[in-house]
Structure 1
Amino acid sequence: MSKLVLAIDDDRLVHHIIDESLSEFCKLIHAKNGDEGIRQALKYHPDIILLDVEMPGLTGYEVCEKLKKCQQTADIPIMFLSSRVNLEERMRGYNAGASDYIMKPFNAEELKARIKVLYNYMQLSKRLSQDIKRAQLTAEIAMTDSGDMGRIMRFVGQSYHAHDLRTLVSYFFEFFQPFGLEVAVAFWYHNSNVFFAAEGAVQPIEQELMETHKDGNRFVDFGRRTIINYPKVSLLIKNMPIDDETLYGRYKDLFPHILEATNAKIKDMEVSEEALNKVEQIGIVFEELSEQLMGISEHQGQKLLALEAELAVLKGEIGIALSEQRVAELEKLYQHFAFLNDELSIIKFKLTEITDARHELIESLNKVAKPWGEEDVPAQTDIELF
């Protein structure tokens, strides 16, 4: 299916560049200002909107805010085109509702790639939203305790049985559902970044913001958005109730508790995965050792038969000088036993590897059984889980 893209920009040259870049890639609609762009969006409902920031009349930020407030156009991904690319401008664009932000001047391949990402995001978001709606019709959240700590205890109990990120994140979002908050989460798992959203998919600009701030402060506030950071998990809340000071403070006190528990679970999952890798390594070494032992056994069996036959001959030649041929044959037998000695040395070396891996596995399993090291115990001034 061909993508329908609306380009809103007051610069004719930009429209020409977009035409040259995308004419064979998608169907294009053009608007020369913000008001015309809004009318075109309402009329054609494009798949993606490319939006200039600086325009006469309505600015790109104002156009974006109007489109996101309109029910007919709120779900259309918007990509800002701008020569301003500092973090403040990107955050302003995100707060206005944009899904991505690309710098002018841009090349055709970069623009195509970013549009593909946004289009895939939109399709995934639609599918996930439909799945969520179906699930909400049939699912009942069994909250045995209406208190905040009761919800956290329930999550901790559920997370104990989660052994993969998708299961864990389903319990994580279940915790936030009663609060009516729009949230996204990033797991910094091993050396990869894994993103999930409670509804739809995580937008590219949201991923960028969480990656940018993940090593920053515990709380990062910008507009109605708040990011809460822990070493293994970051939470983005998109609609924090900043106008309700009491509720706002309650959430900031409460949510670090569940993030602390989630952070501990992620560390446990990483350690468990490392332990499983060690087990697999041990299995591979044992297979190699088994094959080697089988080869040695077969070779040794053949040589033992030869030695037995040679001994029988020698018994019949007692008192007779041994021939040079017999001496040579005995030399071969000696070389055979030397070979066996070398092979046994290799076996001993591999057994040492197995022993070392076994020790590492035991240490990993001990970490799983006792996930909190002394250095990991939360300080009283930071977070008290219960």
Structure 2
Amino acid sequence: MTEKKRILVVDDEELNLSLITGILEDDYEVIALTSGEQCLEQFLSIDPDIVLLDVEMPVMDGLQVSRELQIIAQSPIVFVSAKGSLEERLAGYAAGGYDYIVKPVDGYELLAKIKLILEHQAEKKALEQTAQETTSAFMNALSFSSEFGYVVDFALEIYNAKSYSQVAETMLRTLGLFNVDAAVHIRADYGEAFYSNRGQCSPMEQEILILLKDRGRIYDFEQRSQINEKRVSVLVNNMPQNPEEYGRLKDHLPFMLRLTDGYLKNLDIGFQLSKQEKLLRETVQEVSEQFVVIERELKVNHSVFEAAMFDMTKDMEKSLQFLALTEEQEEQLNEIIHSHTERAFGAIDKTSMITKAFNIILTKLQKFVH
């Protein structure tokens, strides 16, 4: 039997603790505490998989508790608060929050978020194990490269990307060489997506990336910075403490973002041209198929018309014998009949010429799209 995941709930109001415990206890092992002090004292012995932390508590609020927990543990912290403005969410994210839920708590939302967080944590552990096995060899191969070399390599590599995900992977791989934890938000003409060098972006990372994308080219808060361009944003969660390293990275990132934004624009143009080319191919193919049908019908009609004109001419010539016309009148009528018959056949011949002209045009169009 699979062991239940352990959820630590911290709230100074018993009613909230009872409500959340009732929602979770069927699926998880729930431990409820009423203060931030109790949380810090018992945290290591409880060793929870997730912490649900009330923001507004006496003596020590949830933000203070979260900052202390960052020092001793890596458990995801979900803030539960009656307030949900941008400032409060930014404060929660800066304090180390993984997600943010606004009271009153919706049971379905809470269960869905916890399930998603646990899936992210499992994926993160798998990625960390893989990273530990590959980082040493990868970093040794690049140990002699300078920071400028990383940027130059990035500028060369990005032009091999064929999709938004490959663009993001190239950027995150380069940022990894600067030893920063980053998330990327791409919002181009043919799609929007979030990427992280830890696998998936947390819900709060996604929310922050969206909220700050229109807050200027560079937005700094706490030890984090978000750099924005029209089609792409990068959120760096751990800017360097060293002032010189910090300054150099702040120089590199805008350049990399400008380059990425321009390449995303080129990708979108390429996608649009491919879409138009596909539409043109389909149109030419459809016109070709329709024209084959038209040409076949014209040939059939041509044969029917020739036969009808021939029969009409013969019938009229026979009928003239019974009209008691003079020889001169009969010749005049015959000339009129033959004259109009020749004009009709001439029109049919011109139709054949038009058909040939269309065939030439279609052949050229097919060569153009192929």
| TM-score grouping bracket, smaller chain normalisation | 0.7 to 0.9
Change beyond 3 A, Cα 1:4–1:144? closer
Q: Given the alignment of the two structures, is residue 105 of structure 1 paired with residue 98 of structure 2, yes or no?
A: no
Q: Distance in 2 between matches of 1:288 and 1:43?
A: 71
Residue 42 of structure 1 aligns with which residue? 44
Change beyond 3 A, Cα 1:137–1:304? farther
Q: Distance in 1 between matches of 2:160 and 2:190?
A: 24
Q: Distance in 2 between matches of 1:315 and 1:145?
A: 96
Q: Given the alignment of the two structures, is residue 51 of structure 1 paired with residue 50 of structure 2, yes or no?
A: no
Partner amino acid, structure 2, of 1:48: I
Q: Distance in 2 between matches of 1:42 and 1:315?
A: 109
Q: TM-score, normalised by structure 2?
A: 0.78
Size of the aligned set, in residue pairs, is 334
Among 266, 269, 274, the residue aligned to 2:267: 269
Change beyond 3 A, Cα 1:162–1:313? same
Q: Deviations over 1:72-118 (max 9, x none)?
A: x30x2211011122222212211111111111122223323333332
Residue 295 of structure 1 aligns with which residue? 293
Q: Distance in 2 between matches of 1:141 and 1:289?
A: 59
Listed as ranges, the gaps of 5+ residues in structure 1 are 323-329, 362-386
Partner amino acid, structure 1, of 2:275: N
Q: Distance in 2 between matches of 1:266 and 1:184?
A: 17
- 1:2-41 equivalences under 5 Å are 3-24=5-26, 26-38=28-40, 41=43
Change beyond 3 A, Cα 1:291–1:237? same
Residue 381 of structure 1 aligns with which residue? none
Give me the CA root mean square deviation. Answer: 3.4
The structure that has the greater radius of gyration is 2
Q: Distance in 1 between matches of 2:277 and 2:118?
A: 42
Residue 196 of structure 2 aligns with which residue? 197
- 1:240-279 equivalences under 5 Å are 240-242=239-241, 244-279=242-277
3-state SS of paired residue (1:319): helix
Residue 77 of structure 2 aligns with which residue? 78
Residue 167 of structure 1 aligns with which residue? 166
3-state SS of paired residue (1:257): helix
| Deviation, structure 1 residue 225 | 0.5
3-state SS of paired residue (2:185): strand
3-state SS of paired residue (2:83): coil
Q: Distance in 1 between matches of 2:60 and 2:234?
A: 33
Whether contact under 8 Å (2:150, 2:177) holds in the other structure is no
Change beyond 3 A, Cα 1:152–1:137? closer
Residue 136 of structure 1 aligns with which residue? 135
Q: Deviations over 1:272-317 (max 9, x none)?
A: 1111111111122123212211321332233233223324434543
| Deviation, structure 1 residue 161 | 1.1
Q: Distance in 1 between matches of 2:25 and 2:268?
A: 46
Among 52, 65, 68, the residue aligned to 2:67: 65
Residue 324 of structure 2 aligns with which residue? none
Partner amino acid, structure 2, of 1:66: E
Q: Distance in 1 between matches of 2:317 and 2:260?
A: 84
Residue 95 of structure 2 aligns with which residue? 96
Q: Distance in 1 between matches of 2:84 and 2:138?
A: 43
Q: Distance in 2 between matches of 1:180 and 1:85?
A: 32
Q: Distance in 2 between matches of 1:290 and 1:138?
A: 57
Whether contact under 8 Å (1:125, 1:199) holds in the other structure is yes
Q: Distance in 1 between matches of 2:105 and 2:77?
A: 16
Among 294, 311, 324, the residue aligned to 1:313: 311
Moved more, 45-54 or 306-315: 306-315
Partner amino acid, structure 1, of 2:94: N
Moved more, 283-292 or 203-212: 283-292
Q: Deviations over 1:143-191 (max 9, x none)?
A: 5973433322211111111111232223212322332211111112226
Q: Distance in 2 between matches of 1:211 and 1:239?
A: 19
| Deviation, structure 1 residue 201 | 2.3
Listed as ranges, the gaps of 5+ residues in structure 2 are 321-340
Which gives a bigger RCO, structure 1 or 2 (Cα 8 Å, sep 6+)?
1
Percent of pairs with identical residues? 29
Q: Distance in 2 between matches of 1:11 and 1:142?
A: 55
Q: Deviations over 1:45-73 (max 9, x none)?
A: 43322111122343212222232222xx3
Q: Distance in 2 between matches of 1:6 and 1:304?
A: 87
Partner amino acid, structure 2, of 1:237: V
Moved more, 216-225 or 295-304: 295-304
Residue 157 of structure 2 aligns with which residue? 158
Q: Given the alignment of the two structures, is residue 280 of structure 1 paired with residue 278 of structure 2, yes or no?
A: yes
Q: TM-score, normalised by structure 1?
A: 0.75
Q: Distance in 2 between matches of 1:33 and 1:284?
A: 67
Change beyond 3 A, Cα 1:4–1:300? farther
